[in-house]
Homo-oligomer: A and B are copies of this chain.
Amino acid sequence: MIKIRTDLALENRQMYKENQGGEAPGILMKQRQHGGMRVTEIHVMDQRGSQALEKPPGRYITIEMPPVNEMGGAMKQACADLLARQLGKLLEVGKDSKILIIGLGNHNITPDALGPKTAGRILVTRHRFLLLDQKENGKLTNVSVITPGVMGNTGIESLDLIKGVTRQIGPDAVIAIDALAARSMDRITTTIQLCDTGISPGAGVGNLRRGINRETLGVKVIGIGVPTVISAASIVEDYMGEGVFPDFEELLRQEREVSEDMIVTPGNIDAVIDAFSVILSRGINQAIHPQLTKEELEEYLS
């Protein structure tokens, strides 16, 4: 069996099926259509499911949609609405909760800038609570944001910085946004994944070493990710189809080393990242400030 890394539970499940010829054990899966978009919820129930999908047990929600760079404004809003509903289900926190948003990734590398870019569009409010020294602030939820950057620039592992801040400000839930790696080219520009298991080691272009999750932070961590790159190894396999190569495994063994150094991404990745950061930030803002109307949200953000 050949293993190719992807951050998408959906792709891992598909690969399992292709390679094993049957549904992965220990998982539950639901799919629904929502006006041109599809929502797939995979519940990894136990260790068997975890092993089959190479993901920690938990809920993985994937939203599939038309290419984001071809979407008009109305479709983007519909997509943000759908994201907001799914995120709301995972968050399960009330309006009086304190939420910390984390924009992971390197803002200097275009396909890895999704986290920082999205973080920059969040309606941040914690300082309003501080200035007025109160726990309540009308319809607003208490929200703060950090963008930990990359270890090569700061010398500090993202998890260490996040742990320090989490301990200092005590959020009830953390939402971590990251760029992901996918196995198939079609995924780029069309997929959002949410999960309640946080961010797993090695995800995306970033340099994370340890997971950002309830185990390491002590509070609920929702991960929101968008595939923006594929590995060099994957791109080869996509074209190969099944069985063309006699020495397929050997080939991929060589590729694995390459794939650590090379990323594949659309040529218009700057526009793609920009579009996704709009959709993600809208969906997140709607979910974390549930008492605000869209008009009020826009007033605050404009």
Which A residues, 217 to 240, have Cβ-Cβ distances below 8 Å to chain B?
Answer: 232, 235-236, 239
Cβ of A33 within 8 Å of any chain B Cβ, yes or no, is no
Beta-carbon nearest neighbor of A166 in chain B: B164
Chain A 29-84 interface residues, beta-carbon cutoff 8 Å to B: 72-74, 76
Chain B CB within 8 A of A203 CB: no
Copies of the polypeptide in the assembly:
4
Task: Establish whether residues B299 and A72, one from each chain, have CB atoms under 8 Å apart when the complex forms.
Answer: yes
Given contacts A161-B146, A161-B168, A168-B160, contact A232 B127 (CB under 8 A): no
- CB of A267 within 8 A of CB of B260, answer yes
A172 within 8 A of B: no
**CB-based contact B270/A266 at 8 Å:** no
In the bound complex, CA of A251 to CA of B240 (Å): 9
Distance to closest chain B CB from A192 (angstroms): 17
Q: Tell yes or no: A85 within 8 A of B by CB.
A: no
Which stretch from A3-11, A17-25, A147-155 is at the chain B interface? Answer: A147-155
Point out the residues of chain B lying under 8 angstroms from A205, CB to CB. 267
- The answer to whether A153 and B168 have CB atoms under 8 Å apart is no
Binds B, one of A87-95, A102-110, A193-201: A102-110
Besides the known contacts A185-B262, A239-B251, 7 further A-B residue pairs in the complex with CB atoms under 8 A apart: A130-B157, A145-B153, A160-B168, A163-B164, A165-B165, A232-B264, A262-B265
